[in-house]
A and B are shown apart, each in its own frame.
Chain A
């Protein structure tokens, strides 16, 4: 039954991704100009040369034909051709995507590891001074603009010198052994990861707190308390399993949106992920790179939600698959 459900969801995901790709193509077509417009301004390059280049890269062909070519290249794993890098988009993106995944997965895990104990504690202490203080702290974090937070982290790195202020590996680190290299990457990862985690932790804490409070105030908890159950046991045997459903959906959502949230932190803290590549590609009108990144983040979003739905299916006996 679950397999059937997964198959159906995968078919839905494929349809969704095709629709997104068509839309991205159409929207980028609507945007004025292309990669060679900058060349037109250069008096040393003749209009003929520019037109020749456009023909060579297929930019003069109709949208449908270009889309068809792109689809074929997707099947080959190339995802189109980057004019700026003069190489297929696929290999270009894979390395960056790996770095971004490292960052977003690390940040997601960190954010949840922070949010679960804080949210649970806050729900348990609801109404007390400690809970209110926690609420104020979370609201403060929520209102700090992400940009400011990342700039502060950058300042911290530059002023103290405790952390590298950008990049993913130190120069010369490639000659080190595996563990030293891993340590070097981890040190570089720390700041962007903490920054990204901090931007979503307050939101998670609030959701966890309110989901748990909803359950803790319900009658069946009262019935258990009348039997003398301990506070900790109420939390972990009763409240968490019941409160988990909306939180699992939130997990899927947080995985899906991490990729777009990471663009800013990657650009500011110079993490060589998809973010800087996307920004460059947009400015250069390197269409296929933009579409490639957009498609990849859509895959992330769809996969994150599918993952969450499968977790829900496993967690809750009430969810039945038709």
Chain B
């Protein structure tokens, strides 16, 4: 059992969001439910995984939690502040506390900026420090995520896939956020890189007592690091609990199905070569 502080870092209740689509010709409104009635509580310093199939509403929820989109209904408390009551400039200082890392690091990095500029950019947006200070801070974070300082002047496209994801992590870390949302951040990496980035994330978490929300469709990956797992299906969270309990005794039929569909290497070998 994990020792939990009483005050949660993030608490959402009955959160719901719709996508409004417009018909190409008639311009008629078409409302598609992204997710509804989502309840989720995340305690500081923990790693929570949100799993589910494509289209379950995971990424929409992630964008909502990253303050990229406004939910249609519900409550969203972060660090004791009701975020849905804040607008525009009032929301601005809260944004630095929640950072997001995207699936494809290539498209998530501005191709025109150098690595140093990319990492320092959030500081610039938040109007922090002088140019020299920002650069120094960027170089420090670069080193922390395992990128050599001499890469400062390279553009994003000159890095490998794993390095680009490190770059994206560095950009997220420079604002010293409390919550890092990783939207399928490991999915586009090969196994070796996945392992290295995961190790990096664990080290950073230990050093900074960061909180992670991992969005993933890969249960096997999630089972390696998540303390709490929430299973999303059809725009709702159908089951959540401690990873150990959830993997051992799944309650919801969808979770059971998901776990059954996750073959172990041994079972694959048995099936194919027996």
Same assembly: yes
Residues of A within 8 A of B (CB): 127, 132, 218-220, 222-229, 233, 238, 241-242, 316-318
Residues of A within 8 A of B22 (CB): 127
- Interface pair B121/A226, CB less than 8 Å apart: no
CA distance A227 to B100 in the complex (A): 9
- Nearest-neighbour CB distance to chain B for A268, whole angstroms, equals 37
- Interface pair A227/B102, CB less than 8 Å apart: no
- Interface pair B155/A225, CB less than 8 Å apart: no
- Interface pair A223/B155, CB less than 8 Å apart: no
Residue of B nearest to A217 (CB): B107
- Nearest-neighbour CB distance to chain B for A316, whole angstroms, equals 7
Residues of A within 8 A of B67 (CB): 226
- Interface pair B107/A218, CB less than 8 Å apart: yes
Is B45 close to A, CB under 8 A? no
Given contacts A226-B95, A227-B96, 17 further A-B contacts (CB under 8 A): A218-B107, A219-B102, A220-B107, A222-B68, A222-B108, A223-B168, A224-B121, A225-B68, A226-B67, A226-B99, A226-B100, A227-B95, A228-B95, A238-B110, A318-B112, A318-B155, A318-B157
Residue of A nearest to B109 (CB): A220
Residues of B within 8 A of A127 (CB): 22
A–B complex contacts, Cβ < 8 Å, 8 sampled: A219-B104, A219-B108, A223-B168, A224-B125, A227-B121, A227-B175, A228-B125, A238-B110
Residue of A nearest to B108 (CB): A219
Residues of A within 8 A of B96 (CB): 227-228
Name, among A127, A223, A229, A241, the residue most crowded by chain B CB atoms within 10 Å (CB to CB): A223
Q: Tell me what chain A mostly uses at the interface: helix, strand, loop, or mixed.
A: helix
- Interface pair B122/A222, CB less than 8 Å apart: no
Q: A218-B107, A228-B95, A318-B157 are in contact. Are A223 and B112 (CB under 8 A)?
A: no
Residue of A nearest to B67 (CB): A226
- Interface pair A223/B108, CB less than 8 Å apart: yes
Residues of B within 8 A of A317 (CB): 112, 155
CA distance A253 to B98 in the complex (A): 45
Residue of B nearest to A128 (CB): B22
Is B111 close to A, CB under 8 A? yes
Residue of B nearest to A315 (CB): B112
Name, among A132, A220, A242, the residue most crowded by chain B CB atoms within 10 Å (CB to CB): A220
CA distance A228 to B98 in the complex (A): 11
- Interface pair B102/A222, CB less than 8 Å apart: yes
- Which B residues from 65 to 89 make CB contacts under 8 A with A? 66-68
Q: A219-B102, A223-B171 are in contact. Are A229 and B125 (CB under 8 A)?
A: yes
- Interface pair B175/A241, CB less than 8 Å apart: no
- Interface pair A226/B111, CB less than 8 Å apart: no
- Nearest-neighbour CB distance to chain A for B16, whole angstroms, equals 21
Is B4 close to A, CB under 8 A? no
CA distance A229 to B122 in the complex (A): 9
- Nearest-neighbour CB distance to chain A for B220, whole angstroms, equals 25
Residues of A within 8 A of B27 (CB): 132
Name, among B102, B104, B110, B168, the residue most crowded by chain A CB atoms within 10 Å (CB to CB): B110
CA distance A34 to B104 in the complex (A): 65
- Nearest-neighbour CB distance to chain B for A104, whole angstroms, equals 31
CA distance A23 to B140 in the complex (A): 62
Name, among A228, A241, A242, the residue most crowded by chain B CB atoms within 10 Å (CB to CB): A228
- Interface pair A219/B125, CB less than 8 Å apart: no
- Interface pair A223/B91, CB less than 8 Å apart: no
Residues of A within 8 A of B149 (CB): none
